[in-house]
Structure formats: structure tokens, C-alpha cells
Amino acid sequence: MQVHIEKSLIPEFEMRDVRLLDPNCQPTKSENSSHMTVTAPLIGCGTTLEHTKDSLIYRNMIKDARVTQSIISRLQSEDYDEEYISFPLAVTLQQRLYLQVSVDTPDTRLGIVADTCYATPINSISKKIKYDIIVDRCQKDETVRFHNGPPTTQRFSIEAFQFMNGQVMPYVYIHCEVVLCNLTDDKPSCMQKCEPHVNTKLRREVNTDYYDLEKGPIVILRDPEDNFEADNAEELRENQGTSNASDKEGKRESVLKTQIGLWNKGSESDALSLDLAAMRMIGPMINLVEKEQ
């Protein structure tokens, strides 16, 4: 399977740093003045095969060898075959938004679950104005739907909405608090489903691996014919800046070294490659998907 990447979209992405899911496997690569072309084999190099009712889906991932990360993704359809990578993103009111939290790693022993997700009208974790989407792994918003996916991801969707605080607030940021776990454990913490009657405080004393992720801004248009101008997008970027994710203790690096070490017996650099700096796309990641009918 082959993907063509426009260089202007990822100016810091160097051809020499291109890797697939298997970092030791070199894909076939070429480039010209405007595009990079990367070819991944259907067998090997970390390529996986997924069977659906009417398709065979081959998946791999293009990564920057310098940085990998854990992400929350906003995708274009329930097929989860094309990710939005440019923000602000304009959608219409009640349009269904498809999201995915994932761990960017070829280690299939790692699992992830969104314990809590909520939305805010600004890019900060503020409890003054927020709207709950998922609470204690349970659906809070009635439009939430959960979708199947690989164990290193969790997928869900929700209808787009607007905040009202005396006036329409057009921007929405999605925040998720996720849990990582070792799927080879007897009772993996991230495989536990909705538990509405379990004491959250008691559960958190056992499961300490919580990380905050953020995605946005999403611009909500009330009318499909409305237009979100490029000038508005640039102004929003300047005013809002780039958001970074951090763990609860504010000690992301040391926590990750310890936690990842439980699952990855490799070198220190291997452990650090699972950096959970979620939202600033330092090392752009592009999902490769090819369907056979």
C-alpha cells in the first residue's frame, strides 16, 4: 500500500526519519519537490490485517523516527480510515464527530481506555464551563456511540454541539483522561467497562496511570452554508496557541520511564519513544489504510 504526502503539510518531516510501525523495517521511499511517497508491504513491517464483513483492511503507520506519542484523533467517518490533522476544524451543529484515543506503539500488550471525556469552550481544563461526554467510562451524553477498534485504541463518536453562556460560544475543545494498562495482566484495568456504581476514588488508588489529552479547536457552524474563513483560523491559532497534554502529577517524563519499563524491556530510548505529549504533533503520524473489496 502506498501513500503520497504533500511536503507543505508537514514541513519538519524529513524523508530520512520516516519509519513504519516496526522501527527496524525501512519502507520504500521516494520524493520530489512537492511530495513524499512511502510504500508499506502488506506482510511485515508492522502491517496488520483486519477482517470486516465485506473487506480486508491492511493498516500501518508512518511515523517520525525522532518522536512518537499517544494521541486523541478526530476522524472523518465511522470507518476510521482518514484522520483530520489540521485545526481549527469547522463542522456543522449535530454533525457526528468520530474520535479515537490511541497509544502509538507496535507493542500489542499495551491497552488504552478513555475514563473521562468532556468538552470546554477554551483550550484549558476549566471546571467552570464544561460538558461531560464520558464519565467513569460510561456514556454521559445521550448521543455518544462506542465503536470497535484495535486494543491499542478506543473509538467513540458524538454529535457536535455548541456552548451557550449568554451568547453562542463557537469553539469546542475535547479533553480525555485516559488509562494505559498491560493487556497480559490477569485483569487489565483498561479492559474494565462502564462501572457507574463503583467508587471512583477507590478505583483510582489502584489504577494510577491517568493522562490528560486534548484536541481542538473545533468550530461549530449553525448552518452548513456558513463559512469559517482562513483569516479567522489564523487569528484563533495566534490567540489560543498550541496545547500540550500532561499527566496528573506534572512529571510526565519520570512517570513514563517507570510505567513503560513495566511493559518494555528495551533500552531507555525505547521507553521514551512512548512519550505521551498528546496534542502537539511534533512527529506527525499518518495512518495508512488500504481496503480490498
pLDDT of residue 238: 47
Residue range 184-228, pLDDT digits in tens: 888 777 777 787 666 555 455 454 467 788 887 888 887 655 655
CA distance 232 to 235: 5
Q: Which of 6-10, 108-112, 142-146, 238-242 has the lowest mean pLDDT?
A: 238-242
User: What domains appear along the chain, each with residue ranges and CATH number?
Assistant: 2-66 (no CATH), 69-221 (2.60.40.4100)
The continuous run of DSSP H or E covering 182 comes out as strand 171-182
**71 has pLDDT over 60:** no
Q: What is the pLDDT of residues 25-56, one digit of tens each?
A: 878 888 888 888 888 888 888 888 877 766 77
pLDDT digits (tens, 9 = 90+) for 120-144: 888 776 667 888 999 989 999 889 9
Q: Which of 54-58, 78-82, 148-152, 171-175 has the highest mean pLDDT?
A: 171-175
Among the listed residues 226, 225, 234, 222, the one whose alpha carbon sits nearest the alpha carbon of residue 88: 234
Residue 260 grid cell:
513503560
Which percentage of the chain shows pLDDT scores above 90?
4
Is the pLDDT assigned to residue 267 strictly greater than 50? no
pTM exceeds cut of 0.75 = no
The closest alpha carbon to 203, from 146, 135, 275, belongs to: 135
Average predicted confidence (pLDDT) for the chain:
67
Residue 64 has pLDDT above 70, yes or no: no
**206 — phi, psi (to 5°)?**
-90, -45
- Residue 132's pLDDT is 92
Q: Which residue has the cell 452554508?
A: 225
> Would you say residue 271 has pLDDT above 90?
no
pLDDT at 291 over 70: no
pLDDT over 50 at 105, yes or no: yes
Question: Would the pLDDT of 179 be above 70?
Answer: yes
